[in-house]
Structure 1
Amino acid sequence: MLQATDLSVEFASRGRRARAVDGVNLTVGAGEIVALVGESGCGKTTLARTLLGLERPAGGEVRYAGAPLSYRPRDLKAYRRKVQLVLQDPTGSLNPRQTVYEAVAEGPRIHGLPNEEEVVAEALSRAGLRPPERFFLRYPHELSGGQRQRVVIAGALALKPDVLIADEPVASLDASVRGEILALLLRLRDELGLSALVVTHDLGLAWNIADRVAVMYLGRIVESGPTEQVLQDPQHPYTQALLSVLPESQQKIVLTGEPPDPTRIPSGCRFHPRCQLVMAECSTTPLAVLPAVDDHQAACLLLKLGR
């Protein structure tokens, strides 16, 4: 459904170019949920925005249903009906002066969909707000955090998209509500055949919801594959470090320093300045960009050398 090929995104930063996304290959199949995980600042949100057409890539391309993404306004409008965004903070996503009905009806109005009230009611019902008419005239401040996030999801569902891109969809919610929203996303996948790219730093969330996981570091995918394989048998030292912070982990790995400056990406393996298994060759040996395949793969020199 959605594919990134050799995707690169750059920004100007203090007279230099910051490579926020640097050669990413990623696919989201029909009816598949893919989790994109990594630390803050690794490029996850920039990649998501580029897949939505909100950022223009410096290199590579985005494809939807096999066709390259066109950046002409009319084509982008049609594309965004099929690929919808669910943001992290439902309070910030909703206009406090708009009722629930107005918030959900905004997309259908922009796209000129008929039977507006019926479309809004169906979207709210699918998002778990039933009976939907009871929520039409409510304002965001009258709802709980979980209900607000359901309204945001309903606003995306009102356009009957094929793909949802959810950027930290439960990060701002209480633990008791997170499970409900994750269960909702799984139910929507099963009932509607929706595909989803879930951007998160929470590997526990990825374990519960994703079919495949892609681990991102400093603008590049460093490990990817089926969720169980990646999270039960991580091959890249960065993935191992991320997993070590989970409560059930027996070995804690503490990474030193912060992610490097994207305007000064290290030579060789970009993770080597912080790696707990670093070798001398890691600073000089370049690693190939991972292709977009379903198999478990990792960009690590240890694997290349068979150690």
Structure 2
Amino acid sequence: MLEATDLHVEFSGRGSRRARAVDGVNLSVGAGEIVALVGESGCGKTTLARTLLGLERPTSGKISYDGTPLSYSGRSLRTFRRQVQLVLQDPMGSLNPRHTVYEAVAEGPRIHGLPDEEAVVSSALARAGLRPPERFFQRYPHELSGGQRQRVVIAGALALDPKVLIADEPVASLDASVRGEILSLLLRLRDDLGLSALVVTHDLGLAWNIADRIAVMYLGRIVESGPTEHVLKDPQHPYTQALLSVLPESPNRIVLTGEPPDPTRIPTGCRFHPRCQLVAAGKGTEACTTQPLQVLPATTDPQVSCHVADLVGRDRK
């Protein structure tokens, strides 16, 4: 349904340097599939999501929807955004406090000139789990709970009957008791409506509960991807192993040193090697610091971009 091919997004940095926020990404989201894009803050997840939505133009590479390359003309983008909708992290920040629930959900249908506005709004609210929908029409965001506000945001996306949702940290601002309800809603929308979704998150526990596939991003590039069970039960990349180690059930905590490098100064060789626990323990190879790794293709098969993982894989064979 939605695919990025050899995608690069750069921004002006200090002096003449360019920040490579997305540095060669191939990623696809299939029909009725939920893909989790995980990684630390600053790794390029949100920039990639914004580019997939057409909100940022790639420096090079392309975005395709349903096999057709995305055009950035006004009419084409308008049509595209009916099919691919965004669900933001903070519902209180994304809802206008002066607009009622009805006005918030009706905004999209009005922009796109959809008929039967009230029926569209009622249907969207009901599908988002706010029933009976008429009871919420005249309420304002401050009169709702956090979970209800997030459901209104989701209803606003559903009002345009999209095929793909891009959810940026959709439960990060919610209480633990409400998070499960919103995740169950996303799964139900996938099952009932055939929706596809890209869920951007730093929480591997969330990804485990909701995603069919996981793509792990570090410093602008996908470093490991594959079916959720495969990636999370047998992580191959040291970065994925470190992310998983912070989960409560993990027996061994891996503490990474430092912060992700400046995207204007991406390290030579493997971009993770300055923080890699295997390199720090002397288990790396010379290639880790000198030899660049290939960009991973868009595939549903398990794959990893790591000199040490490749070496271990050859030894096992």
Q: TM-score, normalised by structure 1?
A: 0.99
Alignment of 1:14-29 (within 5 A): 14-15=14-15, 16-29=17-30
Partner AA of 2:266 in structure 1: I
- What is the CA-CA distance between 1:32 and the residue it aligns to? 0.1
User: What corresponds to 2:287 in structure 1?
Assistant: 281
Report the CA distance between 1:146 and its aligned residue.
Answer: 0.3
Which among 292, 301, 309 is matched to residue 303 of structure 1? 309
Cα distance in 1 for partners of 2:55, 2:13 equals: 19
Q: In structure 2, how many angstroms separate the alpha carbons of the residues matched to 1:293 and 1:187?
A: 25
Query: How far did 1:286 drift?
Result: 1.2
User: Deviation of residue 38 (structure 1)?
Assistant: 0.1
In the alignment, the residues of structure 2 paired with residue 14 and residue 42 of structure 1 have an alpha-carbon distance, to the nearest angstrom, of 18
Matches of residues 110-259 of structure 1 in structure 2 within 5 Å? 110-259=111-260
> In structure 1, what is the Cα distance between the partners aligned to 2:303 and 2:258?
26
Which residues of 2 match residues 20-99 of structure 1 at below 5 A?
20-99=21-100
Measured in 2, the distance between the counterparts of 1:281 and 1:218 equals: 19
SS at structure 2 position matched to 1:113: coil
Give the Cα–Cα distance (whole angstroms) in 2 for the partners of residues 59 and 223 of structure 1.
22
Please report how far the alpha carbon of residue 281 of structure 1 lies from its aligned counterpart in structure 2 after TM superposition.
2.5
Superimposed CA distance per residue, residues 206-253 of structure 1 (whole angstroms, 9 cap, x where no aligned partner)? 000000000000000000000000000000000000000000001110
Q: What secondary structure sits across from 1:199 in the alignment?
A: strand
**Structure 2: how far apart are the matches of 1:235 and 1:216?**
14
- Secondary structure at 2:110 match in 1: helix
Work out the CA distance in 1 between the residues paired with 2:287 and 2:263.
Answer: 22
Corresponding residue of 2:12: 12
- Structure 1 residue ranges (4+ consecutive) displaced by more than 4 angstroms after TM superposition: none
Percentage of pairs with the same residue: 82
Q: What residue in structure 2 maps to residue 294 of structure 1? A: 300
Amino acid at match of 1:286: P
Q: How many Å apart are 1:257 and its aligned residue?
A: 0.4
Q: Secondary structure at the match of 1:49?
A: helix
Amino acid at match of 2:67: G
**Alpha-carbon deviations, 1:14-44, whole Å to 9, x = none?**
1210000000000000000000000000000
Tell me how far apart the structure 2 counterparts of residues 14 and 304 of structure 1 sit (CA, whole Å). 36
Return the alpha-carbon distance in structure 1 between the equivalents of residues 88 and 209 of structure 2.
19
Structure 2 unmatched ranges of 5 or more: none
What's the CA shift string for 1:141-196, capped at 9, x where partnerless?
A: 00000000000000000000000000000000000000000000000000000000
Task: Give, as a single letter, the amino acid of the residue that structure 1 aligns with 2:265.
Answer: R
Instruction: State the shift of 1:13 in Å.
Output: 1.3
**Displacement of 1:131:** 0.2
Aligned residues: CA RMSD: 0.6
- Structure 1 residue matching 2:61: 3-state secondary structure: strand
d(CA) in 1 for partners of 2:276, 2:141: 45
Separation of aligned partners in 2, 1:228 and 1:216: 17
